[in-house]
Chains A and B, each alone.
Chain A
């Protein structure tokens, strides 16, 4: 990546070339001259005996859409609440721009949060909810009214300003919460599981709306979620958390295609793991001796080292005839399969009790399935499709 060519200095383009893929034009984290907007430096937090966050270092850049991803209890919410000021770190510090915000109470931080259950004020109308932060800033009345109208239009709730929160649908409430947090123009918007209460269809729509909103406003968003799909769709970068630590930070594609360990590989998407020892080097390839057979893969590891080969289901090809090339080939029979419309996932038994997941795109309209339970199949994958993991 050429740091001079990215959008950090020239301003971010208004159009994202790819969604969920590599947005190569925006990568301030690769520019050594770029100053992060938020910096966590060795931040720790314990609740009683439970160490919720263990020495987290993290930088978030201006206009980035950053996702904290992890299972419940991994410390991601605690990390976010420390940035908002609702928890104070036991160790380390949090910088916002050039300022250590440790001593600032929540109401003095230019950081606003969209709460998981929205936390709308039930006694105030939609318009007064949105105006709440603006009034605290002491803006003139006319400007508040203008900004509230602007926000209502932005989240497509025009005309609903006089309703009370309990007269709105779940999706509308979510928009009010978003508008309320955005109205005072925070330097960073925190979203705590913002779509947890929405149904699947609405969630997907909202994800795209959030992204375009973030683009239009040119603001910095930080989202906390346990939903890997959501993180992959919306975020520029994802930080995967586990037991209070950050395991990997990277673009969605990096985290998916180049996980640093088995945990990340398994948490983001489905993965097949082959455990074995490196037996030889062959040019750029490693030869792996595993219980399931002998595999070639691209990667770096010493001969004799214990490694895991991670192969995504969609990178495994399913054949009905034995392929000529014996490399990275496994024979088995279909134990079960799931037809998902766009994809079919096969569960293939390659040895008693040992199953591999393979996925095949349904590129043609074949209603009569060519493959069914107990059919013998052969699986293959390219050496470049496997990731060699050492931990």
Chain B
């Protein structure tokens, strides 16, 4: 009996993944290999179940990579793809630069203060994501709060709404907790005696940080970077609301293909390519982790 139950418990996560990850993924993958059609789905080919195994064979034979070939021909896709990766990478870099001092600062506070500060980092999640991004429009628009403040200080106004700067600002703002929390988790568990040992052996406090604290916090930085980079590369809402027409990101390309062009296979193919490139860093990271453990 007990064995059966624990078996069920082990199967549950797999069921979950099969239902909400594998199945949709197969659907999207199938779509990306299908013929473009002007009508709604299903797109050709379809499996003719009445033919049995032959129908299945015919189905696989009819699938083709024509859509993928099309992606390589149009510069737009490559540009959007590179621009997405560039923006996500820049955002991740900025998040590391901003998130690390925050996480480090929190981890050095007395325990009671730490709790309050971690709460403060999580607090923005309690309001709607969309509202918070709209709020940035109010701040950044030409006659917005930012320019009002600049004018009050006698400084020239800036026009950054609908630029890549605004997109980066929004991304960094929205993803900061995802960077701070994993970093904080490793920094908080830091073994104080290691820092003391480093200083005891002649390392200045700064050198002790770079040689001991920092390398030991890298797994947290890697986790934070993955947690931010992947969704940022596919981000749609922030570039759509804060970016201009010249901010090219894959999220918007997918949206356009889906809703404006009604080209579901193209949208699916773009999504699959994005996924494939995002899985690569995860696998690299996992392998690195496994190496450290060994």
Contacts and interface: CB of A to CB of B under 8 A. Distances in A.
Interface of A: 84-86, 105-108, 111-113, 115, 117, 119-123, 132-133, 136-137, 180-181, 184
B196 A133 contact: no
Contacts, number: 61
Nearest to A108: B202
Interface residues of B, number: 19
Contact of A107 (B191, B203, B212, B216): B203
A115 B196 contact: yes
B201 A136 contact: yes
Interface in B187-215: 191, 193-194, 196-205, 207-208, 211-212, 215
B212 A121 contact: yes
Most chain-B CB neighbours within 10 Å: which of A105, A133, A181? A133
A122 B216 contact: yes
Contact of B199 (A105, A120, A121, A122): A105
21 contacts: A85-B200, A86-B196, A86-B200, A106-B196, A107-B200, A107-B203, A107-B205, A107-B208, A112-B201, A113-B200, A115-B196, A115-B197, A117-B193, A119-B196, A121-B212, A132-B198, A132-B201, A132-B203, A132-B211, A133-B201, A184-B202
Given A86-B200, A107-B205, A113-B200, 8 more contacts: A105-B199, A113-B196, A119-B191, A119-B196, A120-B197, A132-B198, A132-B201, A184-B202
Contacts of A184: 201-202
Contacts of B215: 123
A297 B203 CA distance: 57
Contact of A136 (B191, B193, B203): B203
A184 B198 CA distance: 13
A48 to B, nearest CB: 14
Nearest to B202: A136
A184 B200 CA distance: 11
Given A115-B193, A136-B207, A123 B216 contact: yes
B104 to A, nearest CB: 17
A137 B201 CA distance: 9
A119 B193 CA distance: 6
Contacts of A115: 193, 196-197
B214 to A, nearest CB: 10
Contacts of A132: 198, 201, 203, 211
Contacts of B200: 84-86, 106-107, 111-113, 181
Nearest to B292: A123
